[in-house]
Amino acid sequence: MKARLLALILGVSVTGTGAALAHHSFAMYERERTVTLSGTVKEFGWTSPHVTIHILADTPQKGAWSIEAASPPVLARGGWNSMSLRPGDRVSIGVHPRRDGSTGGVLADEQQVIVNGQPARGILSLQSAGESYSEH
């Protein structure tokens, strides 16, 4: 009886720990600063727990950028879907860069997404199309 109880407690502990470790902090990103990346979409991962966008950036820092975004259900409420971005699309997208200076960031929701020279269809943004896309 004690062995079964101990096994049950250990099983619940391990299960709970995995869920806690799966969710991480966004402290690694400079949320107070926004940069606008321009480049080509290499990959658009519409998967949980977070959507990922891989961009081969021309500016401001050339290289392969990995952008993390919210979950698919959260982005879907803002008009995104699995076909919003496709490999080869030319994009201009606002991100909060990584604090360590590496080529990565988190999607900035206050920026408009430009795809192939046009505002992305159906994607909501909090910034008007007339505002500049420079670093804030």
pTM, 2 dp: 0.72
Which runs of E-coded beta strand occur in 46-107?
Answer: 52-59, 63-68, 90-97, 104-107
**CA–CA gap between residue 91 and residue 57 (Å, rounded):** 9
pLDDT in tens, 19-31: 444 555 678 899 8
| 35-119 belongs to CATH 3.40.630.10 | no
Q: Among 53, 49, 51, which residue's Cα sits nearest to residue 23?
A: 49
Rounded percentage of the chain residues whose pLDDT exceeds 90: 51
Q: Please tell me which residue, 99 or 111, carries the higher pLDDT value.
A: 99
pLDDT in tens, 71-91: 999 899 888 999 999 999 999
Structural element, H or E, at residue 20: helix 2-22
How do the domains of the chain map onto residue ranges? 35-119
- pLDDT value at 122 more than 70: no
C-alpha triplet 126, 130, 134: angle, nearest 5° = 80
